Amino acid sequence: MNYPEHLFYTQDHEWISFEQDHALIGITDFAQKELGDIVYVDIPSLDKIIAKEAIFGTVEAVKTVSDLFMPVNGKVIAINPLLETNPELVNQDPYGSWMIKVLVTSASDRESLLNAEQYQALIVSNPSSH
């Protein structure tokens, strides 16, 4: 499984990449493998301020629907337009297929995120945590 070192992770299997005052957020390789074939991504949160750990959308796979949790406090400023017609991109490239771009409102939120090594340890110690 793939755990890019430059990303941060949550226990709910989202990844986040910080870029100055904004961040890109998606789901991890582990999450997309657990979900299976993704057929729909629903993110109704454009231009909304979402609290850390609140739901910002859902991802639907052939077998199940899973909530997407916000890793930081922030305002959703963009939704990846490619996922509307090509949700399978999340399966093909989970770290290249961001779901939302967020204006980060609290820099201290980074402190509760996992680095790649910590996330990998979480997966190994509790593989059915999703």
| Domain coordinates in residue numbering, the chain | 8-125
Query: In a structure prediction context, what are the per-residue pLDDT tens digits for the chain, which is 130 residues long?
Result: 789 999 999 999 999 999 988 999 999 999 999 999 999 999 998 999 999 999 999 999 998 999 999 999 999 999 999 999 999 999 999 999 999 999 998 878 889 999 999 999 999 887 554 4
Question: Which backbone phi and psi does 3 adopt, to 5 degrees?
Answer: -135, 80
Is 46 within 8 Å of 102 (Cβ atoms)? no
CATH number of the domain located at residue range(s) 8-125 in this protein: 2.40.50.100
Alpha carbons 108 and 73: distance in angstroms, whole number:
10
Alpha carbons 16 and 130: distance in angstroms, whole number:
17
pTM summary value: 0.93
CA-nearest of 53, 79, 88 to 68 is 53
